[in-house]
Structures are given as structure tokens and as C-alpha cells.
Structure 1
Amino acid sequence: MRWIVRLGFLAGMLLFGYLVYLYFEIGHEVEPLVHYNPPKTTQIFDRNGKLLANVFEKEHRLYVPYEQIPGRVIEALVAIEDTLFFEHHGVNPEAIFRAIIKDIKARKLVEGASTLTQQLVKSTLLTREKKIERKIKEALLSIRLEQVLTKEEILERYLNAIFFGHGYYGIKTAALGYFHKDLDKLSLKEIAVLVGMPKAPSAYDPTRHYANAMARANRVLERMKTLGWIDEATYMREIKAAPKVYDDTLTQNRAPYIVDAVVNRLQAKYPDIRRGGYRIETAVDLEYQQMARVALKFGYDAYWKRHADDGNISDTFNGAMVVLDGRSGDVLAMLGGVDHAKSPFNRAISSKRQPGSAFKPFIYETALNLGYNPESKIPDIARTYRFEEGDTEKLWQPKNYEKDYKGMITLREALVHSRNLATINLVNEIGIMTLHKRLDVFGIENLPYNLSIALGNIALSPLQMARLYSVFADMGTLHEPRLIVNLYDNLGNLVEHIERRSKQVYPKPQAYLMVDMLRDVVRRGTGRNARVRGMDVAGKTGTTNNSVDTWFCSFTPDMEAIVWFGNDDNTPLAKRETGGRTAAPVVRVFYQALVKKHPEFKRKFEEPEGVYHVKRGGRDLIYTDISPLPAEDMTPANEEIIF
């Protein structure tokens, strides 16, 4: 008998020695929890603090430090999962003994005895297989973890690491996902729902098994009452509660083209942008984004309706739209296509298309700054141009869209009716080198050194066109479009602030001359389909050869909107499609919605100082010091001059 005792003692000593050895051998394996840095969700917000999207790689997790976790959450969790949490050292011997008895009776592992510390170890460091070796390792790692972390630190890691069903990792993520509330706004019943979930996240997911989730929550409340942590009245009130639960997507992506653009811009500088838990504040306004989406879809549907019976319409037809704050260049809305789910390619940024006549205002503005006036006359006549291509001499015979000629016409009428020949002749008068020199300030790449520049023979994206048109929208000031405003790290520290960038390109009076001309384009020219009752809208249509690209570039006293439509494969659109027919109605729909929702916005353009008026023959002519009226139109001494 004595030798059996000795053998048992020896075996016990060997086991104890082995456990001590194992404890120190595997102790380093808790380091990922000691220096805990799990992947965290980056959130993108609009200018008003509305969530645009959650961006993450595999696990959607919004991290919350212990100091921001309400005491009721801790109480409810400890009550249902580990009542002796603040007393044990990682394992609970009493619970282990109970579990062993049940396992022996069942002749298999049927019940665990895991403390919160063990659950944390199991969910982050180990597999979930029920083997004795894994349970021993779990216990040893839990004891080790309790030696290097405080109870509060363990709870913080637990509540941020645990899976709460529905793709939510961490209790803050689950609170916002299921209840649309921050932790400190949760009711006791909602807290009970959340802390009751880790035992079986799928079974207690309230979006799928509401009754199960409520029953489990009531069990949590009952346990808290038994422990004396809530009174009878609170218990009775809360078990009757039936909180509203939301079944959201994980990303909640309300502006996918915006989100893609933001992430793509930050990816190179911040490689961990999808897992670093950043907060990104953009210049976007979700309300305008929705209005732009509706407007662009309107234009898209109208095109298909007009050509429903055409048998050869390309199914690659799509569009893009950019909306800027006219006074700052902030990107308020941006759509890279009609439907991101069908085509995530962002045409607003990445598609370079010819602007056609939408580029003409920059040629006419150059003329104005050289001393021309809107009433100056230029020839709208046909000419044949000879040029060499290699060893071959070729002829270029450009035409007006209407295939007619007007003779001598004013700059205003040439622009209002988008006369190609008049514009080509104007470029010829100005000179290619002079025009290039004057346009250098815009930094436009690959401007052609020939007369085709008059027809917009360059490649620009809708966002680049929006940048260019900001010089008119803000009376001569060119703004760099700003999409991202602030970037914060996961601790709330400001990492980067993007300043607005702008420069004065034209004197205000000179810019106003163009604004007045472009307003006439909408009032009575090619942009008539963009007219909005009671609001000044200025803009220019653009239609390239065979209607491959159709544009309308517009602005109001407060806003700027650029619209493009075309086929992705660069094939022509259907017959009779132009910038005025295809794109202009989109900005009308957008501005109408804008006026309805924001009646306080400015309706009329403000005329700057330095613009003068002359009444003549029932017409109101304007001029500036740089752009005087032509000699033949100067006012006689007996006519009224208005300053």
C-alpha cells in the first residue's frame, strides 16, 4: 500500500513539474494579448458626421477602451459568465471540479468551466476543439495572462475580441449594429442581449432568432437579480422590454464610389487603412450624394426610354457626376457610374474623355483677358486648313453642328450656340502659342498644339472638368477639389488635415463676363434643358464627334455640377444625343431638388465691382476696363451708362 502512495506522490510530482515546465515553456504565447492590437474597422463619414461606410478586411471591429465601457455592461457580463472573475487567478477550481464530475458521468467532455480569461484565451490564441491537452494549455495560459494583465485589461480585451454574431466583433460594434446606439445609451435589456450572446452567437443573434435572444437576455437579468445587483422593480420592467433590432449590412456603404476613392487615395500612404481603425472625415454631403444619384439615374433611364426600340444601342452606356461647393472646391457628391454593384469602375476619376465644346469657355475667357468683349465679332465661316501628317499633306474642313454659317457673330452668340467654326477662327486669331501660354496656369496635360484644341480634343475626367469649371463658379478662383478633410487614428488623434487649395486665375470682373455668357447658354442656348425656375444656372454643353461623349458642365451661385454620359467602349451614342439632350436635364433635376430642400441658397449671381453696363437698343451690354465694348458699339453721349 505504501508503494502505491509513493507512486502516486511521484506521479503527482512529475505532473506538477511537467505543468510548471509547460507553464514557462508556453508563457510567451500570451504576448498577442499582452500587446493586443487586433484589426480594427476604419469608418468614413460625411461633412455632417453621417456614416458613409465601414471599411475592414476580415473582422468588423470598432474598438472601445475600458474607460468607455459602462459599469452595467461589466456587471451583466460577470453575472452571467464568471461571477468570481474578480477573485480567481485565471481559472476557477470549483467550477472545474463540477465540470469534471459531469464529464465523468457522461463519459465525454460535455461541460466547460471556462472563466472569462479562459474564454478570451480560447477565442484568440487556441482552437475550439474539446481535447484535454487544449484545456490544460488554456488553463495555463489563462493563469499566465492574469500575472501580466490587470482584470480591467482582460475585460477590455475580452469585450473587443469576442464575436457577437452577424459579423460583429467587439461589443461596441454589436451595440451600434444591432441597436444603432453607443454603449452608454443602451438600456439594461439591450446590454443583457449583448452579454448573453458570446455563449452561442449564432443561436442568440437577435436579427435571426429574436425570441431566443430575448430569453437569454432575461436569464442574464434573472442572474443579476439573484446576485442582488438589480432590484425587483428593475427586473420586472426590463424583462418586459422588447428592444428594436436593426439588420444592417456590415459595411453600411451608402456612397461606394466615394468610399473607393477615399481608400484608394490613402492606401499608399497608410497601408493599414483597412485595418487600422481610422476615422476619416470627408467633404461629402450624403444628402447631395443621394440627390445626385437620383438625378444621374433620371438621365440614364431617359436615354434608354428614348431608344427603347433601337436594336443597336450599346449596353456599355453609363455616366458620371461630380458636385462641388462652388466657393471652396469641396467635393459634395461624386458618382463614378449609375450603379456601383454592376460596375465599380469610377468614371468620375479614372475615365479620361474628350470634353468637346465644354472646353470652349476657356478659349473665350482667354480672348476676354486679351481685350475682347462679349460683343466683339468673329467670323463664323468655313475654312480649309492644310497640314502634314508624315509625308502626306492633308486637308481639315471643320463644320458647325448645324452645318450652316452665320458670318460675323459676337463672342456671346458663338458661345451660346456653340459654333465650332467661330471658335476655330477665334483660336486662329489669338494664336496657338498665346493660348497655350494663357492656359498654362491650369496645368492641363497634353493640350494639342493645333486648332483641334478649339473642339476640346483633349482627354479629361469629370473630376478634372469640375476643377477647371471652379474658376467660373467662384468668379476667377481655381479650386483643387477636396475629398478628404481629416484623418484620425484609432485613439482619436488627428493624423492629417487636408487644407483647401486655391488660386486667383482671373480678375473677378473678367470671370463675370464669362459667367454672364454661360448663363445665356442656359437661358436661350444649347443648355436650355438645364433651366430651373427662379435660379441662375450657367453652363456649357459638350458633344464630341458622332456623340461619343456628351457633357454638361454647370454652376449656380453656390454649387457646381458636372455630368458626363457615354459608352464605356467609346462607340457613338444613339442618334441626336447631345450634351444638351443627354446631360443637361440631369443638372436640372439635381438643382430642382436642391432648391426644394434648401430654399435659403443663393438664387442670383452677384456682380462684382468693375463691371459696367450700357443700355442700347433695348439691350443691356456689359464691359470692363480690360474688355471695353467694340468701337462700333460704344454708347453715344446721350445714352445712359450704368456703373
Structure 2
Amino acid sequence: MKPNEKAAVGNEEQPKKKKKKRSSPYAQFTFAVVKTVLVILISLGCVFGGILGGAVFGYVKNATPITADQLDITKLTSFIYDKDGNEIAQIKGSENRVLVEHSEIPDNMRNAFIAIEDSRFRSHNGMDIKRFVGAAMEYIITFGNASYGGSTITQQLVKNITGNEESTIKRKVQEAWQAMALENVLTKDQILDNYMNRITTGSGVYGVQAAAKKFFNKDVKDLSLAECACIAGITKSPGLYDPTLGEKNKARNKDRQETILDEMLRQGYISQNEHDEAIAEQLKFYQPKDEDKKSSASVQSYFVDYVLTQVKKDLMKKYNLSSDAASIKIYNSGLNIYTTQDSNIQKIMTEEFTNIKNFPANEKISNPDMQAQGAMIVVDPTTGQIRGMYGQYGTKEVSFALNRATDMKRQAGSSFKPIAVYAPAIDLGLITPGTVIDDVPVYMDTTKPNTPYPTNAESGTYQGLINIRKAITKSQNVVAAQVFRDYLKPENSIKYLKKVNIDRPDEGYISMALGGLRDGVNPLDMAAAFVPFVNQGMYVEPISYTKVTDDKGNVLLDRKQDQKSNVAYKETTAFLMTSMMKDVVTSGTAAGYIPDTNLRYGQVKNKEGKTIPTAGKTGTTEDYRDKWFVGYSPYYVGASWYGYNTPKSLKKTEWNQALLLWNKVMNRIHSNLEVKDFDPAPEGIVKKSICIDSGKLPGPYCASDPRGSRISTEYFAKGTEPKDECDVHILAKVDISSKDIYGRPLLATEYCPPNLVQEKVFIRRPVPYLPKDPSNKSLATAIKDWMYELPQGEYCTIHNALTSHPASSSNTGNENQTGNGFTVPPIGGETLPIEELPDDGMDVIP
């Protein structure tokens, strides 16, 4: 057929097309909108997919695969040495983690973890796509509050190795890639075994073997199905599911164990009969016997406990390890840890703190929670190296018990004054050892404006005019508070405390100056803070180890190289503080004699009976709840604390126990040491004779004070020494028969009989003290120098023009007359006429 014929035929045979029915306008509009939206969504999806793909590519590109070193878990024992290289402890994995081979792990344990943690573990390539997408969708739908995660066992192993727990998309993407890469180099069994040897399986327990020992006192290979499911259930959250942490935890663990057994049945790992028997099995958790608890072979010393916590922290920081990974490194990698412990010092401290004679309050108390406690630390001030520590009274019964020497937080009382008040104020040139403060009632508690606050330890008594040296020696609270508020200022105290690593940015209140801290301190804090006083003003961070090497001798941590130090005070400040705190142990609060000895509490002698110089500061907290002594020699700084777990007022017989513990330890430590003095006065220290009541150069009457000469020699940082002469001691005539309400003789007038008039030396306060209630004699008479104060502007009220003849002669011959308890000393210099007394603004009685 010709083409035109074909066309013709086609035209003839082609049936007529039906006319299409037009859809409604509504349907057309709906279709157009849907088509438009689909196009937009597809376009946005492409854009978003491109962005997401780019981000994923970037995350993966920056991720690093897990290395063989990170996967390695060894069984090598780690060794700990003292400062002289003697072995003091072996740290074995069996104490908190025992690694087990594949053949030692029962299938029930393996399958329990797979069933509850990762049901498709055997089939996925490191990332479970279905689970991952499900978790991602729930994450989006719940705005980040997904009830379950998408991590496979392999991904959990990666997270455990890297320690990266950031809740970010980047971490999840990188973790998934690392897991897939790991599955290319390890078998499923190797991954699962590594996982079960790493994970936390209880409070302080890592790995399934250690868990088997802790909970059932069995090897993992001997566990029943029910016991395997129990351990597998703990891993999710040991704090909630460790059955040894209380009845609630035990109930939660049982519920989770049954959930795991249900999953094992559903997934075909166990039969119905095995499931039912495991559900019915009554688990018997292991309870260690008393002798097992007390076994010294498994109990580490306080020093070893502390060293291990520090090494772990430093490994985590330097090598970006998780807590678990760092613990594995310590317990299973054959490390050699070289500590700063002096084993002789540690032995002495252990003996003294386990000696009931040093804790007589505990003789009839068997409950440790009710017993008196103590703690102490000894530091070498030139290196900052800790030489010994003890954290409680009595024998240490468990590893990682509360170490009160390093971990507790208690108020420090007056032992805090040198570092919070006096050293900073001297360093800034605001005060000197000779600066005089008026120790009189003050009212610093704004909520109780009529109640004296603070008060001194010797309640209700005040020294009056007192210099800083004496205030430290006698531990006067009022003086410390005034220096803190009126001279130093809180912000400077906080700044200086930070220099000795006591960071208290929010504690700049008056009570802080007295050691009343909201966030307390421990003996380690205090010993380290006192180091600058014996180390030329330099603070040196306290360290417990010097280096850590691996089993091949490679240095992993060099603590001495990383040790921090800084200038806390000028060298002159350190010298002045030590000079003053030497007085604390010779004539102050640490100068009392130990009963039945001729040794002062703060005194140290060697075996030849020669005294080695010491200095320090006592501390007592409110209601005598805590007692402290931070004392030091040229060789060591020691900080001791005594109190109770639940703070309570100490009996009077316990008030010197912190001092006694310090004394017993420090005297034995120094037994074989030669006498050595503190560093001599550095350049920049000058010596001056001063009046101790004014802090100024002696005036004509300072030596004639009724209490005896008030002239003393004092040290000063050059440029801070006094230049002016004393204006506190003055000479005046008084009538010994006329008294004020406090019993002090009043100033004589021209009408007073000569035989009743005496010339006396008085003190005149730079700032007059006026009791809030003048009729309350107790407040004024509680001030010990009140009776020596000139009654300014108060004249004889007995003799006047109507009762007496005017005095026409001086009192020659009456200088030594005694009146009202005063013995008149010989007086040199000119007499200050009554009319030349300075005007103090008070009315003068004619």
C-alpha cells in the first residue's frame, strides 16, 4: 500500500475521538497546588540533601579511625613507687576489672547483651540503618527528646574508647563512620568481647568478669542465664540498676532482667523452659565477710587512692580518654607510677592516726560514724611534693574511702586569717606587723546592729589597742575583721586567695576573714596555701606523683614538668608572716604545754632535744566544731584537722587534739633532722623600735606606761616603717580621789589638794571609743586597756572653789603614791599642763 493510501485508510478506519469532559475548576486548582507543593518539596529536599550530604562528607573527612592502640586491653599489672623508688603497691585489673578471653564468656552473656542492646548486631555493618533512621525520626518529631538511641554495640564501643559523649549530629555521624570502619578490621566476636570487657557493669565495676565477682563471687563462665541477664541489665545505668545499691535498685534490676529474658526468648536465643526457669530463679547477691572487707592485701592507702585519682584525671585530660578508658589504662596497662610519698613519713602518720591514745574520745565508741575523726597532710614546701597523708581515725578498711585530708570541705576558723587577711594586707602595704588596731566591740552584722559582731574567741574580752603581731599571736577576731573591712577590702582578699588556689569569688563577706566559709577547705588546701610563707612567697602546686611510664619505659605523664607555680606574695611578706607566726608557737595559741611534758604543742625537737624553729596558726570554728593547726618548719608544712563527721561541739578535753596530732607526727618526722632556721631577712627588710600601742616611733612616755615599757623592736618592709612619733601615750595630772563611772581617776583641777594630785602616763585612743550604752560598764571594762585610758574632758567632780583651796604647788614627793590600783612610775620629760590638753570636742567642766 502506498503511503498516501495508508494514510487514507487510516483516516477511514480511525474512530472518532470522544470529547473530553472538563474537570471542575476546584479540582483543577487543587491539582495545581499539589503539583506546585510537590515540586517545591522535591526542590527543597534536593537542596537540603545536598547540604546534609556536604555536612556528612565534612564530618566523615575529619573523623579518625580507631587505632590498634586504642583497642588494646592488656593484663599487665601496674606498679606504684615511693619517692625513693621502692615499690609500695601493685595495681591489678582483678581489683576492679578482670579481662576475659572469648572462650571464657558464656553464650548466654553474649546473647543477653545482643538481645537488649543491638538485636541486629550480627547482620549490620556497624550501623543499624533501620534503628538509626527510627531514632532520627523520633528525634525530629520530639524536638530532641527521643526515648531511645540508634547506637549499635559497635558504636557504643567507639564512644567508650573515644570518650566523646557530645549530643550532636557531628558526633553521631563520625561515630557511625568509625563503627563501620572498625567492622572492617575486627570480627563481630572481637568487637563484642572488647565491648564486654570495657563497659561499666556496676558501681565501681568494669567488665563482665569483675561484675560476676562482685555480684555473685563467681567467674563469668560459671554464671547462670538469670545471672547473665542481671549483669547485662546494669549497664544501661548502674546508678539505677546496680542491685547492691538498695532495694529500689534491686527491684528495677529484676524488672530489666525479665525484659532481657523476654527479648532473648522472642529472638530465639533461649527456649520457653529456659526463660521460665531463669525468671523463677532467686538471685543471691554476694555479701563480703568482715574479714574480706578488712583484708589489708586489697586495701589501698589514702596516698595510693589519691595518686590513682590524680593519674586518672591527668590521663583523661592529656590523651582525651573517657573515665573508663583511663581506668583501663591504669589497671591493665603495666604502668609505672612514681609518687612523692616518703614511706617513713607515711608510716609515722599511719601509726599516729591508728593510735587510740591520740583519740581518747573514741575509747568507748565502736560506731565509726560517731567517732571523733582527724586528718593530716605533710608537704615539702620547696617542691610542693606531698610526703604523706592520712584521712581518718583508725585502720583504713576499704579502698577509695572518704579521704578527709583531700576530699572533705570544712570551715577553717582562724587558720584562714593569714591567707585571707594578713598576708594580702601586708603584701599591698596596707598594714605592717606594727600597725595598731583598736580591739573594741564592733557591730558589723547589719541584721543585729546592737549586738557586737564579731566577738573574740575569749568571749566578751577585748585587748584594746593591739598591733598586728599580737593580734595574730592571740588570734583576735575583731582585729582580723577590721583589717579585712577597713584596710584590705573583700575583692583583694579574694584575689590573693586565688593565688594560693583557693577560689572563692562569691564569699567576700566578713565571716570569710575569720574562716567561716560557705565552701570549706581541707588539709591539702591549707597546707598548700601556707607553702609561700616558707618558700620566699612562691606558691607551688601540690603534687602526689612525679611521672608515669608505660611498660616499655616511655613517659606518659611528667607531673613535675606540668606543675604550676606562681608568686603569691613578696619575699618580704613571707618573711614578716613567718616572723609573726613564730610567736604563735612560742607565746600564742599554740604555745601551751602538752600534759606531762616540757614540750609546747607547736614546738618540734629532734632526737638530740634541739629545737627546730616552727611557725603556724591555729583554727577553731563556731561552737568549737572543728579544730585546725597549720604549722611549718624549714623542712615541712603540716596541716591537721580534728572533728566529727557530723559537726558537733567538741568537749574541752578535745580542744588541743589537732595540735597534738600535728605535734606527734612532726616531732617524729624531724627526729633525725638537723636544726635549721628559716631563711634570713631578705633585702628590703628593716628593723625599727616602735611603741606597741601606737605603731609609731617611741615618744617620751612610751617607756613609762603603768604596764611597763611599751617599746619593742619590729620588722618592716622597707618604706612601710613609721616616721612619726607616738601620740598615744600622754602625761596628765589626775585627782586620785575622784573617779569616773568606770573607776578611772579624773583630771585634776586647780582646786584639787596637792596630796591627791598625781602625774600619770595615760593612753589616748586615736579614735575615741564610746560604748553604745555608757551605763553598761561590762562592755567598757571588758577592754583590757580601758583602765589606762585618759578620761578626756572629764575633770574632778569633788573639789571646787567652795570645797577646797586652790593648789599652789606641784606634786613633788607624791610620784610613787598608790591610788586605785595604780602605781605611779618615775616620770621623765615635761608635764603637760591641763590647759594644753588637746580639745577633743567634749564639754569641759569648769
Interval containing the TM-score (normalised by the shorter chain): 0.5 to 0.7
> What is the Cα deviation at residue 453 of structure 1?
1.5
What is residue 536 of structure 2 aligned with on the other side? 475
What is residue 278 of structure 1 aligned with on the other side? 335
What is residue 109 of structure 2 aligned with on the other side? none
Judged with a 3 Å threshold, the aligned counterparts in structure 2 of structure 1 residues 43 and 409 are, in CA distance, closer, same or farther, namely same
Measure, in 2, the Cα distance between the counterparts of 1:602 and 1:279: 35
Moved more, 557-566 or 35-44: 35-44
What is residue 623 of structure 1 aligned with on the other side? 716
Could you tell me which of 536, 542, 547 is aligned with 2:624? 547
Measure, in 1, the Cα distance between the counterparts of 2:345 and 2:358: 21
| SS of 1:429 mapped into structure 2 | helix
What is residue 441 of structure 1 aligned with on the other side? 499
- Aligned: 1:563 with 2:640: yes
> What is the Cα deviation at residue 626 of structure 1?
4.7
Q: Is the 8 A contact 1:357 1:544 kept in 2?
A: yes
Measure, in 2, the Cα distance between the counterparts of 1:379 and 1:310: 46
Judged with a 3 Å threshold, the aligned counterparts in structure 2 of structure 1 residues 54 and 364 are, in CA distance, closer, same or farther, namely same
Q: Is the 8 A contact 2:424 2:492 kept in 1?
A: no
What is residue 328 of structure 1 aligned with on the other side? 383
Measure, in 2, the Cα distance between the counterparts of 1:41 and 1:303: 38
What is residue 48 of structure 1 aligned with on the other side? 84
What is residue 505 of structure 1 aligned with on the other side? 568
Judged with a 3 Å threshold, the aligned counterparts in structure 2 of structure 1 residues 593 and 295 are, in CA distance, closer, same or farther, namely same
Measure, in 2, the Cα distance between the counterparts of 1:342 and 1:36: 33
Could you tell me which of 412, 420, 428 is aligned with 1:370? 428
Percent of paired sites with the same residue: 26
Moved more, 469-478 or 362-371: 362-371
What is residue 612 of structure 1 aligned with on the other side? 686
What is residue 450 of structure 1 aligned with on the other side? 509
Measure, in 1, the Cα distance between the counterparts of 2:533 and 2:369: 35
RMSD over aligned CA atoms reads 3.5
Q: Is the 8 A contact 2:474 2:588 kept in 1?
A: yes
5+ residue gaps, structure 1: 1-34, 62-122, 128-248, 635-643
What is residue 287 of structure 1 aligned with on the other side? 344
Q: Is the 8 A contact 1:60 1:250 kept in 2?
A: no
Q: Is the 8 A contact 1:53 1:252 kept in 2?
A: no
Moved more, 258-267 or 426-435: 426-435
> What is the Cα deviation at residue 470 of structure 1?
1.0
> What is the Cα deviation at residue 421 of structure 1?
1.3
What is residue 384 of structure 1 aligned with on the other side? 443
What is residue 210 of structure 1 aligned with on the other side? none
Q: Which amino acid aligns with 2:427?
A: N
Judged with a 3 Å threshold, the aligned counterparts in structure 2 of structure 1 residues 630 and 41 are, in CA distance, closer, same or farther, namely farther
Judged with a 3 Å threshold, the aligned counterparts in structure 2 of structure 1 residues 309 and 422 are, in CA distance, closer, same or farther, namely farther
- Aligned: 1:425 with 2:482: yes
Q: Is the 8 A contact 1:39 1:59 kept in 2?
A: no
Q: Is the 8 A contact 1:611 1:622 kept in 2?
A: yes
Moved more, 526-535 or 352-361: 526-535
Measure, in 1, the Cα distance between the counterparts of 2:402 and 2:366: 26
Moved more, 50-59 or 533-542: 50-59
Measure, in 2, the Cα distance between the counterparts of 1:42 and 1:250: 20
Judged with a 3 Å threshold, the aligned counterparts in structure 2 of structure 1 residues 609 and 297 are, in CA distance, closer, same or farther, namely farther
Measure, in 2, the Cα distance between the counterparts of 1:41 and 1:57: 7
> What is the Cα deviation at residue 59 of structure 1?
7.8
Judged with a 3 Å threshold, the aligned counterparts in structure 2 of structure 1 residues 254 and 502 are, in CA distance, closer, same or farther, namely farther
- Aligned: 1:347 with 2:404: yes
Q: Which amino acid aligns with 1:625?
A: K
What is residue 94 of structure 2 aligned with on the other side? 58
Could you tell me which of 265, 270, 280 is aligned with 2:310? 265
Measure, in 2, the Cα distance between the counterparts of 1:381 and 1:297: 44
| SS of 1:444 mapped into structure 2 | coil
Q: Deviations over 1:232-265 (max 9, x none)?
A: xxxxxxxxxxxxxxxxx99867961011112222
Judged with a 3 Å threshold, the aligned counterparts in structure 2 of structure 1 residues 345 and 59 are, in CA distance, closer, same or farther, namely closer
Judged with a 3 Å threshold, the aligned counterparts in structure 2 of structure 1 residues 126 and 429 are, in CA distance, closer, same or farther, namely closer
| SS of 1:468 mapped into structure 2 | helix
Matches within 5 A, 1:84-123: none
> What is the Cα deviation at residue 385 of structure 1?
2.7
Q: Deviations over 1:423-445 (max 9, x none)?
A: 11222212333433444433433
Could you tell me which of 627, 651, 655 is aligned with 1:574? 651
Judged with a 3 Å threshold, the aligned counterparts in structure 2 of structure 1 residues 519 and 488 are, in CA distance, closer, same or farther, namely same
Measure, in 2, the Cα distance between the counterparts of 1:281 and 1:623: 43
Judged with a 3 Å threshold, the aligned counterparts in structure 2 of structure 1 residues 609 and 293 are, in CA distance, closer, same or farther, namely farther
Judged with a 3 Å threshold, the aligned counterparts in structure 2 of structure 1 residues 621 and 263 are, in CA distance, closer, same or farther, namely same
Judged with a 3 Å threshold, the aligned counterparts in structure 2 of structure 1 residues 297 and 622 are, in CA distance, closer, same or farther, namely farther
Q: Which amino acid aligns with 1:596?
A: S
- Aligned: 1:301 with 2:357: yes
What is residue 465 of structure 1 aligned with on the other side? 526
Q: Deviations over 1:315-370 (max 9, x none)?
A: 23211111100111111111112335347211111100000100011211122123
Could you tell me which of 558, 574, 590 is aligned with 1:527? 590
For normalisation by structure 1, the TM-score amounts to: 0.59
- Aligned: 1:400 with 2:456: yes
Q: Which amino acid aligns with 1:351?
A: M
Q: Is the 8 A contact 2:497 2:503 kept in 1?
A: no
Matches within 5 A, 1:60-79: none
> What is the Cα deviation at residue 454 of structure 1?
2.0
Judged with a 3 Å threshold, the aligned counterparts in structure 2 of structure 1 residues 312 and 576 are, in CA distance, closer, same or farther, namely farther
Q: Is the 8 A contact 2:375 2:641 kept in 1?
A: yes
> What is the Cα deviation at residue 615 of structure 1?
5.4
Moved more, 453-462 or 411-420: 453-462
Q: Deviations over 1:499-553 (max 9, x none)?
A: 2321112111121000000111011101121112411110000000111111000
Measure, in 2, the Cα distance between the counterparts of 1:124 and 1:386: 68
Measure, in 2, the Cα distance between the counterparts of 1:59 and 1:426: 53
Q: Which amino acid aligns with 1:262?
A: V
What is residue 515 of structure 1 aligned with on the other side? 578
Measure, in 2, the Cα distance between the counterparts of 1:124 and 1:397: 68
| SS of 1:274 mapped into structure 2 | helix
- Aligned: 1:317 with 2:372: yes
| SS of 1:345 mapped into structure 2 | coil
Measure, in 1, the Cα distance between the counterparts of 2:454 and 2:309: 41
Number of aligned pairs? 413
Could you tell me which of 416, 421, 424 is aligned with 1:359? 416
Measure, in 2, the Cα distance between the counterparts of 1:526 and 1:433: 29
> What is the Cα deviation at residue 476 of structure 1?
0.7
- Aligned: 1:39 with 2:88: no
Measure, in 1, the Cα distance between the counterparts of 2:490 and 2:641: 27
Q: Which has the bigger relative contact order, CA under 8 A and spacing at least 6?
A: 1
Moved more, 604-613 or 539-548: 604-613
| SS of 2:651 mapped into structure 1 | coil
Matches within 5 A, 1:480-499: 480-499=541-560
Q: Which amino acid aligns with 1:58?
A: S
What is residue 133 of structure 1 aligned with on the other side? none
- Aligned: 1:593 with 2:687: no
Q: Deviations over 1:160-192 (max 9, x none)?
A: xxxxxxxxxxxxxxxxxxxxxxxxxxxxxxxxx
Measure, in 2, the Cα distance between the counterparts of 1:574 and 1:418: 20
> What is the Cα deviation at residue 596 of structure 1?
1.8
Measure, in 1, the Cα distance between the counterparts of 2:95 and 2:435: 65
